[in-house]
Amino acid sequence: MSDLERKVREWGAAGLLSEDQLASIRTHEGWDAPEPSDGGEVTGVSAGVEAVGYLGGAMAVAAAFFFMSGIIPDLTEAGQVGLAGLLTVVFIAAGAFVRKSSAPGRRLKSVLWAASAVGTATTAGLLAAGLFDAEAAAVALSASVSALAVAGITWMLNKSALGNVILLFAIIGSATSLMAVLNDNTHSSFYGLAVWAIGVAWTILSWAGYTPPTRPGMVVGSAAALVGAQMTATEPFRPHGLTLGVITVTLILVSGARLGRIGLLITGAIGVVVFSVQVAQEIFGGSELAVAVALVVVAALLVIGAVAASRRRKVEVL
Amino acid sequence: MTKANRSTTAALVAGGIVIVAIAVIVIFGFVPTPEYPPLAEEPDPELSGLIAYSIPEDSDHADEFGSRCVYVVEFPEGQADKITCRDEIGWSMAWTDDGWLIVESFGQFNEFEPGFHDFGLALIEPVEGGAFETVSYANDPNFLFSDHRQTRKDGTRVRVEEGGTTVVLSSPDGSTRDLFGSDSAPSNYHFNEAQWSPDGEYVLVVDTKGRIIVASASGDPLPRVIAETGQEYEVTMAWYQPGNATYTVAREDLNSQ
């Protein structure tokens, strides 16, 4: 628990903040709700109920795989769509009935609704491919836009970290499949650029509080930006993509250090590992020794930077 | 910075990044594929003979040694007819001097992935495709490969640069001439291969859209699409003009097995 979270709880206990204000702050910051005190009334979902919910969800997924491998090939196309749609409706309804007044309840709700977004994409994809015989790009677009609608609505109703991730995936899927529908000759690097731009925008919007919870949103947005930069770094745009990656990694690390966000620092560190090897290979060509020396120098600079940062300020936990 | 200012600034920056990315993608990523008219729209009575091409039967397994289908286009009509699909048919193909197709044949080998030189030869009757006769050839079967069809009798070569979108003619004196193509093309579009017609009057090109294109080597090239195979890389082709033995193998040199 961070200092800020502890302080906010104190303010809540002192009556300086209402329950609604506390809930809004918790949602915005991505904090779990406090466990009810002994003897307090439990109005939400207990850990046991949450576990049963996950078990049911896992069994539903296992059943889906069973259907996919064993039964779906024998079903008519309408039957496949109906089966996927039925599972999706079950997930949506189950998520809607879960109360979110407790942390386990919110988690269970977010998992069920994440499954419903995936189910919606599957249903729409089967519908487009099977019944309307659509092209692959059109199938992907219908699946991702359908998932985007469900992910957007469920995220607005329950602003969880998982909902944030699913919503970002749905946006990326919709944007890239729209590109494929508009022009099937677009080079893969431009899909990478689109993913990068969405990831960066998501990170900034999460930082500003538009796409809560803030910290998971910033981390997943940063990760998407790195993946986008990596996708951009294919010939003949490899230098452009690597440059984009280096700039992105730098911005993530600087942001992480300035904001005290360990999640961003970890994401940036992963980016350093991924891009420094590629950049060193580009610069030094086939010289393995030079690449190794370059990596050691980068690693040393990172360690020195981390030590300097740790002496300057206390880093907040993710 | 106040919270309101931060929100506004963040929204503007995020929106700006997305708008700039969209602009870059639309300007540089949405370059249209060069279009060429189909032969039916721009017929050329001077075109003669047969063009054969082969493509994988299942494009999802194009990199494996799966079945390939052979098509034949007969000029001047220019209609592509599928004559056969067989597991035994390999990549390379050529014509005999009497107008039969000769293809790589993997039928006599049991290995899942035969080596580069582990192939036999098979004759295919080019109209119905029914006959498939395994033959042998005592000499080096280089005639099968398209490389030698890139050089005309007078030494002029037709080539496409790696990843290039222009067909170039290189004379023996070292001079070059761009025959046709476009500098403005999607970054993943290019020509894969070019070869001469047996009479040296035309060039035959295949691009990454799987289009087989014919163009005149002199005057206005007038590139026209003969066939749309839909294959990005796995198209092989050969041109036969009756009475012209260039790029062919003598039927009498092939021995039945």
User: pLDDT category, A116, cuts 50, 70, 90?
Assistant: very high
Pairing of strands B248-249, B89-96: parallel
Q: Which of A155, A183, A211 is the last residue of a domain?
A: A183
Mark whether A154 and A252 lie in a shared domain: no
Domain boundary (A137, A167, A183) is at A183
> Is residue A104 located within the same domain as residue A121?
yes
Q: How confident is the model at residue A80 (pLDDT cuts 50, 70, 90)?
A: confident
Residue A250: pLDDT above 80? yes
Residues A221 and A109 in one domain: no
Q: Which of A42, A35, A34 is nearest to A17 (CA)?
A: A34
Which pLDDT score, from 0 to 100, does residue A41 have? 42
Answer with the residue of higher pLDDT: A315 or B227.
B227
pLDDT of residue B67: 85
Cβ–Cβ below 8 Å for A201 and B163:
no
Are A144 and A237 in the same domain? no
Same domain, A199 and A286: yes
Closest-CA residue of B relative to A208 is: B7
pLDDT value at position A38?
40
Taking the CA of residue A197 and the nearest CA in chain B, the distance in Å comes to: 5
Domain end point (choices A183, A202, A221): A183
Using 50, 70 and 90 to split pLDDT, how confident is the model at A185?
confident
Q: Is residue A29 part of a domain?
A: no
Neighbours of B151 (CB within 10 A): 18
What value does the mean pLDDT take over residues A71-93?
82
Residue A20: what pLDDT? 67
A249 domain-assigned: yes
Rounded to whole angstroms, the Cα distance separating A196 from A215 reads 18
Q: Which two three-digit tokens encode residue A308?
A: 């300097």
- Inside any domain, residue A2: no
Contacts of B7 in chain A (CB under 8 A): 208-210
Chain A residues with CB inside 8 Å of B20's CB?
A: 197
Q: Does some domain include residue A19?
A: no
Residues A152, A72 within the same domain = yes
- For residue B14, list chain A residues with Cβ-Cβ distance below 8 A: 200-202, 204-205
For residues A85 and A102, membership in a common domain is answered with yes
Parent domain of A107: 45-183
Give residues with Cβ within 8 angstroms of B172, minimum separation 6: B154, B155, B156
Query: At which residue do the structure tokens 């919709």 appear?
Result: A174
Residues A103 and A146 grouped into a single domain = yes
**What pLDDT score does A50 carry?**
66
Q: Are residues A120 and A137 in the same domain?
A: yes
Residue A63 maps to a domain: yes
Q: For chain B, which ranges sit under pLDDT 50?
A: 109-110
A202 and A289 housed in the same domain: yes
Q: Are B203 and B222 in contact (CB under 8 A)?
A: no
Nearest by Cα to A193 from B83, B51, B19: B19
Across residues A271-295, what is the average pLDDT?
A: 82
Same domain, A119 and A215: no
pLDDT at res. B100: 92
> Do residues B203 and B215 lie in contact, with contact meaning Cβ atoms separated by under 8 Å?
yes
Over chain A, what is the mean pLDDT?
Answer: 83
Q: What is the DSSP string of A71-86?
A: IGGGS-HHHHHHHHHH
Claim: this prediction has a pTM higher than 0.90 = no
CA distances from A213 to A3, A9, A27, A113, B22 (A): 18, 18, 6, 16, 27
Euclidean distance between CA atoms A93 and A112, whole angstroms:
9
Q: What is the pLDDT of residue B158?
A: 94
Domain-embedded: residue A40: no
Q: Tell me how far apart the alpha carbons of residues A1 and A303 are, in angstroms, rounded to a whole number.
A: 26
Q: pLDDT-based confidence at A312, cuts 50/70/90?
A: low
> What's the alpha-carbon Rg for chain B, to the nearest Å?
23
Whether the pLDDT of residue A260 is over 50: the answer is yes
Band (pLDDT 50/70/90 cuts) for residue A318 is: very low
pLDDT, position A223: 97
Domain count, chain A: 2
Q: Are residues A222 and A243 in the same domain?
A: yes
Name residues whose C-beta falls within 8 Å of residue B125's C-beta, 6 or more positions apart in sequence: B100, B101, B131
Domain-embedded: residue A152: yes
Mean pLDDT of A48-63: 71
- What does the block give as tokens for A104? 């386990």
Residue B15 contacts A, CB cutoff 8 Å: yes
Contact with chain A for residue B182, Cβ under 8 A: no
Q: Mean pLDDT across the stretch A77-97?
A: 87
Does some domain include residue A13?
A: no
